[in-house]
Amino acid sequence: MPNLYEGAGILTNVKLDHVSKYFDKVIGVENIDVEIRSGEFFTFLGPSGCGKTTTLRMIAGFYYPTSGRIFFGDQDVTYLPPNKRNIGMVFQNYALFPHLTVFENVAFGLQVRKKSKQEIREKVERALKMVHLDGYGNRRIDQLSGGQQQRVALARALVIEPQILLLDEPLSNLDAKLREETRVEIKRLQLELGITTIYVTHDQAEAMAMSDRIMVMKNGVVQQVGTPEEIYNRPNNQFVASFIGESNLLEGTVEEMDDRLVKVRISPELVLSGWKENAAPGVQLKKGEKTTVSIRPESIREASSSEQGEENVVRGQVTLSEFTGVSVNYLTRVGEHQLKSMFVNRGFRVYQRGEELTISIPKESVYFLG
């Protein structure tokens, strides 16, 4: 869809240079230091209260940082008011004017900017086409579904041809099916327009599916910045490992170690070996010291009878058996631990609660979290 969007010509990177925000003594966010690239789809991900909205509002200019600076390209925008920033913003609750038509809602930002009637008409029509709402201009907002309303909000944000698009939990108020559709729609638009986009969500699946890179936050502090694969496969710490996807987190003591392999005793019944290099940044493994290993449920498989007694092969009792169609999910009790596993359904035999199951945990999938 070329020539629909002139703003895409002015691509902008966004830099947060050691940004902190305090509300009196409450920490909003602390020492955020990150650069969002031109044209990137970048997501702030974390539980409620971790500082996502606070960070977005500083980028939009609704809050000023307590310390640190914010740059759009080379321009220091730290204390620039929102209307001088050329950003488009979409909120969770749409924030549309219910008594105005779709056209009037989308036109609002252009009217504020004192554009001519003809320019407004052209640009609004173009923006409505972008979000597949051409022909809806005369409808009232309350005649639209939630998904359509959110697309009006998107058109309203894009009509001013912003350099940067900011979206704060835009799908939260939609039901599951609409959420999926609107997610695809937002991603399609972002790819077509190439606009630098910062997206806020607490939904890890949404973040994984949409983002070029993700910034994981907790209690106002950045935990990790990386691509979805990096964050999933090489989490920085236990919080990231358990917040994104599922993980077996097992505490144990390093029993043996050489240059390549580390053997950890989790319990009398459970000893696991893994590659030493397969560790989060900064983790120092030492013989006799405690460590936590993380194992993804989908990396565990059923062991064959010839593997019995081998390293990382353990036998236990099934305490939960859940057939979902796509997969079979098990909890298997080994000593005091319950190991979560997920086998993709390829027509294998399904074990029932109470049966014995022998599982194999590949060395490659043992990840040391410190």
Ligand X SMILES: Nc1ncnc2c1ncn2[C@@H]1O[C@H](COP(=O)(O)OP(=O)(O)O)[C@@H](O)[C@H]1O
| 28 touches, from ligand X, Mg ion, none (C-beta below 5 to 8 Å by class) | ligand X
146-150: which pairs have CB atoms within 8 A and are 24 or more residues apart?
146/173, 146/174, 146/175, 146/178, 147/174, 147/178, 147/181, 147/182, 149/94, 149/96, 150/90, 150/94, 150/174, 150/182
Residue with smaller CB distance to Mg ion, 19 or 241:
19
Which contiguous run of DSSP H or E holds residue 105? Answer: helix 102-112
Minimum gap (Å) between residue 97 Cβ and ligand X: 24
Question: DSSP assignment, residue 80?
Answer: -
Give CA angle at 211 (213, 217), nearest 5°. Answer: 55
Report, in Å, the least distance between residue 250 CB and ligand X: 29
Burial class (CB in 10 A: 0-12, 13-18, 19+), 231: buried
For ligand X, which is the closer residue by CB, 73 or 82? Answer: 82
162 binds, among Mg ion, ligand X, none (CB under 5 to 8 A by kind): none
Closer CB to Mg ion, 53 or 196, in the complex = 53
Burial of 215 (0-12, 13-18, 19+ CB in 10 A): buried
Q: Which is nearer to ligand X, 26 or 326 (CB)?
A: 26
CB of 55 to ligand X, least distance (A): 7
Nearer CB in complex with ligand X: 45/334: 45
Residue written as tokens 């358990």? 242
Q: Minimum Å distance from CB 246 to ligand X?
A: 22
Kindly state the tokens that stand for 69: 């600076």
Give the DSSP letter of residue 258: -
Sites of contact with ligand X (CB under 6 A)? 23, 26, 28, 46, 48-54
Q: How far is the CB of 22 from ligand X (least distance, A)?
A: 9
Q: What does the binding site for Mg ion look like in residue numbers (CB under 5 A)? A: 53
Decide whether 30 or 185 has the Cβ nearer to ligand X: 30
49 binds, among Mg ion, ligand X, none (CB under 5 to 8 A by kind): ligand X
* Least Å from the CB of residue 363 to ligand X: 37
Residue 26 touches which of ligand X, Mg ion, none (CB < 5 to 8 A by kind)? ligand X
Nearest CB to ligand X, comparing residues 159 and 216? 216
Q: How far is the CB of 50 from Mg ion (least distance, A)?
A: 9
Residue 144: name its binding partner from ligand X, Mg ion, none (Cβ under 5 to 8 Å by kind).
none
**Bridge partners for 252 per DSSP:** 291
CA separation (Å) from 228 to 193, 207, 214, 262? 22, 8, 7, 27
Q: State the nearest-atom distance from the C-beta of 216 to ligand X, in Å.
A: 12
Helix (H) or strand (E) holding 123: helix 117-130
Nearer to ligand X, 49 or 137 (CB): 49
Residue 231 Cα to chain centre, angstroms: 9
- Go through the chain and tell me how many residues it has: 370
240 CB-contact burial (10 Å; exposed 0-12 / middle 13-18 / buried 19+): buried
Find which of Mg ion, ligand X, none residue 54 binds, CB within 5 to 8 Å per kind.
Answer: ligand X
